[in-house]
């Protein structure tokens, strides 16, 4: 594991050092498109800008587009920032997971109060002007095994009175999952055309960002980024987030430090503080950062996630029968199918059920961390389940997904449903009607092994397929009554 971490860090830092060595110091302070360098995400800003290897929400657009791949639900977000010197900016973004990856669209606006105009005699005129920037992103992210890739395509337009300049460019991002708790990322930002005002053309502030995130426990994330920019000296971002949850309510506290503002404004200007509240699918976030004599900045955002549940939200969780409560010795990907044949019941009262179970090695059965990809080993089981369902056309099954305890409970609940849904989709491809399946997600609530070890967590990343018997139906009716 240590060797893998060293190799990953070396691979990510080497291109950063090489590219930074190629930047001329003549560019420092002379690049255009400075709007591109502002931390636009509220969660990102609260963590000091350390977000290159943090995943799971729309903030990833502005730091490393690969992080969008972990977005499992449609998310919309709106942000407003009160900047210094009467400057403000807003953004609106929407992200959507699809069958071919995660896509997102973001629109950002930077503006300020009206600036007065004067004639050659220094007399104030009745009219003024409002400089502003408009920045739009189209983003895409996808995963290949444990490697996550992302890209932004952006357009930036700056307007100062009657003059304007535009630029087109891309950001490229990559995240590697070192293990269940550590991610490493690299992002190359602001690769694009020059910004030309009148006769002056300036390059964009090309930036190479590399970082790591670490989750020692479910409720804590710490991260650090290094930035090698064409427009400034290298700088460091460090930050963290702590979460405390009660049922559908989460409270989050964030803090971070960014060395770049310190060089310009001194003092405590590199510090950032923030927090957030989540209730069900609604999120509110806030971040504050001081900039010395220029004053402090305040950022506010509201986000909402739309659930993709495949089952009726009002359906009660099925309670397993007494003889099904015992955990199997190796339950990672098992199925237990029971079927009662009426015509045989009178002939042989003891022959009431046909049970079938199939075991594979743990490495073949367990789902990969943070993944719902169905493997060839899983397909062997799914195909045999399909054969039994074709043999007994009246049989229905419950497909139940589970996760380990790494990550947010809400996120794990959605991931468990996606795992169960992925298995159901494969059964449908084998001509099994979806009406014969009930899809359930239990998240991390029903572990089959100890989550304190990597082996136990692997055992808990599983899907269970169980038959729905008459006994189960009667129990469900009792629960509803």
The mean pLDDT value for 393-416 works out to 86
321 falls in which pLDDT band (50, 70, 90)?
very low
State how far the Cα of 117 lies from the Cα of 115, in Å rounded to an integer: 7
- Structure-token match 């730091």, residue found: 63
Identify the pLDDT of residue 407: 79
The mean pLDDT value for 399-404 works out to 90
Q: Other C-beta atoms within 10 Å of 118: how many?
A: 10
Identify the pLDDT of residue 327: 39
- Do both 151 and 46 map to the same domain? yes
Q: Is residue 57 part of a domain?
A: yes
Domain range holding 54? 2-306
The mean pLDDT value for 52-67 works out to 91
- Do both 243 and 329 map to the same domain? no
How big is the chain by its Cα radius of gyration, in Å? 27
Instruction: Give which of 204, 153, 195, 186 is closest to 23, Cα–Cα.
Output: 204
In this predicted structure, which of 4-8, 32-36, 193-197 has the lowest mean pLDDT? 4-8
List of E strands, 309-381: 335-336
State how far the Cα of 351 lies from the Cα of 339, in Å rounded to an integer: 10
Q: Other C-beta atoms within 10 Å of 267: how many?
A: 12
Two structure tokens written together for 183: 């991610």
The mean pLDDT value for 430-440 works out to 86
- Structure-token match 């490697």, residue found: 147
The mean predicted confidence, pLDDT, of the chain is 79
Q: For residue 467, is pLDDT > 50? A: yes
- Do both 255 and 333 map to the same domain? no
- Do both 341 and 202 map to the same domain? no
- Say which CATH number the domain at 19 has: 2.40.160.60
Identify the pLDDT of residue 135: 95
Instruction: Give which of 184, 228, 192, 233 is closest to 209, Cα–Cα.
Output: 228
Q: For residue 420, is pLDDT > 50? A: yes
Identify the pLDDT of residue 110: 92
Identify the pLDDT of residue 240: 96
In total, how many domains does the chain have? 2
Q: For residue 317, is pLDDT > 80? A: no
User: SS3 breakdown of the chain: % helix, strand, coil, rounded to 5?
Assistant: 25, 40, 35
State how far the Cα of 268 lies from the Cα of 16, in Å rounded to an integer: 28
- Do both 362 and 252 map to the same domain? no
Q: Is residue 312 part of a domain?
A: no
- Do both 65 and 125 map to the same domain? yes
Q: Is residue 434 part of a domain?
A: yes
Instruction: Give which of 212, 4, 35 is closest to 110, Cα–Cα.
Output: 35
Q: Is residue 315 part of a domain?
A: no
- Do both 62 and 154 map to the same domain? yes
Instruction: Give which of 49, 85, 51, 47 is closest to 65, Cα–Cα.
Output: 51
Identify the pLDDT of residue 152: 97
More confidently predicted of 284 and 6:
284
- Do both 70 and 189 map to the same domain? yes
- Do both 300 and 337 map to the same domain? no
- Do both 263 and 378 map to the same domain? no
H-helix or E-strand spanning residue 243 = strand 235-246
Identify the pLDDT of residue 333: 36
Percentage of the chain beyond pLDDT 70 is 77
Q: For residue 193, is pLDDT > 80? A: yes
Two structure tokens written together for 252: 């989050």
Q: Is the dihedral of CA 161, 165, 170, 175 positive or negative?
A: negative
Q: Is residue 311 part of a domain?
A: no
- Structure-token match 């587009």, residue found: 65
- Do both 397 and 264 map to the same domain? no
The mean pLDDT value for 2-23 works out to 50
Q: Which of 242, 275, 306 is the last residue of a domain?
A: 306
Give 447-460 pLDDT, tens digit per residue: 888 888 888 888 88
Q: Which of 258, 273, 306 is the last residue of a domain?
A: 306
- Do both 347 and 208 map to the same domain? no
Residue 152 phi, psi (nearest 5):
-110, 140
């Amino acid at each position: 594991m240590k060797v893998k971490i060293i190799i990953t860090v070396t691979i990510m830092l080497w291109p950063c050092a090489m590219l930074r060595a190629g930047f001329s110091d003549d560019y420092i302070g002379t690049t255009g498109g400075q709007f591109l360098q502002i931390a636009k995400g509220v969660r990102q800003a609260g963590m000091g800008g350390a977000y290159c290897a943090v995943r799971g929400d729309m903030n990833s657009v502005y730091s490393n587009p690969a992080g969008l791949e972990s977005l499992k639900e449609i998310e919309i977000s709106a942000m407003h920032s009160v900047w210094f010197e009467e400057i403000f900016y807003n953004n609106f973004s929407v992200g959507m997971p699809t069958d071919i990856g995660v896509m997102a669209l973001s629109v950002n606006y930077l503006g300020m109060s009206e600036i007065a105009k004067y004639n050659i005699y220094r007399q104030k005129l009745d009219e003024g002007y409002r400089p502003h920037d408009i920045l739009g992103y189209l983003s895409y992210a996808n995963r290949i095994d444990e490697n996550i890739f992302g890209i932004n395509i952006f357009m930036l337009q700056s307007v100062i009175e009657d003059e304007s300049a535009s630029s087109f460019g891309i950001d490229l991002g990559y995240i590697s999952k070192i293990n269940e708790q550590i991610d490493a990322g690299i992002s190359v930002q602001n690769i694009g055309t020059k910004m030309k005002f009148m006769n002056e053309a300036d390059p964009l502030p090309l930036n190479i960002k590399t970082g790591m995130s670490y989750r020692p426990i479910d409720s804590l994330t710490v991260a650090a980024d290094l930035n090698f920019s064409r427009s400034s000296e290298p700088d460091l971002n460090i930050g963290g987030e702590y979460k405390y949850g009660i049922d559908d309510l989460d409270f989050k506290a964030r803090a971070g430090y960014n060395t770049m503002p310190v060089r310009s404004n001194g003092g405590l200007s590199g510090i950032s503080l923030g927090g957030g509240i989540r209730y069900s699918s609604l999120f509110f976030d806030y971040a504050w950062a001081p900039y010395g004599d220029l004053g402090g900045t305040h950022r506010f955002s509201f986000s909402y996630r739309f659930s993709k549940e495949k089952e009726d939200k009002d359906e009660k969780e099925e309670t397993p029968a007494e003889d099904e409560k015992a955990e199997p010795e190796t339950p990672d990907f098992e199925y237990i199918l029971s079927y009662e044949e009426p015509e045989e019941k009178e002939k042989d009262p003891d022959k009431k059920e046909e049970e079938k179970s199939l075991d594979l090695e743990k490495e073949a059965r367990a789902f990969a961390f943070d993944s719902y990809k169905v493997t060839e080993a899983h397909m062997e089981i799914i195909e045999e389940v399909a054969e039994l369902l074709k043999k007994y056309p009246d049989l229905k099954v419950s497909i139940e997904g589970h996760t380990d305890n790494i990550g947010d409970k809400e996120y794990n609940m959605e991931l468990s449903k996606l795992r169960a849904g992925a298995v159901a989709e494969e059964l449908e491809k084998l001509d099994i009607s979806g009406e014969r399946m009930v899809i359930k997600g239990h998240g991390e609530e029903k572990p089959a092994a100890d989550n304190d070890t990597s082996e136990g967590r692997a055992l808990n990343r599983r899907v269970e397929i169980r038959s729905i018997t008459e006994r189960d139906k009667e129990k469900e009716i009792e629960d509803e009554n």
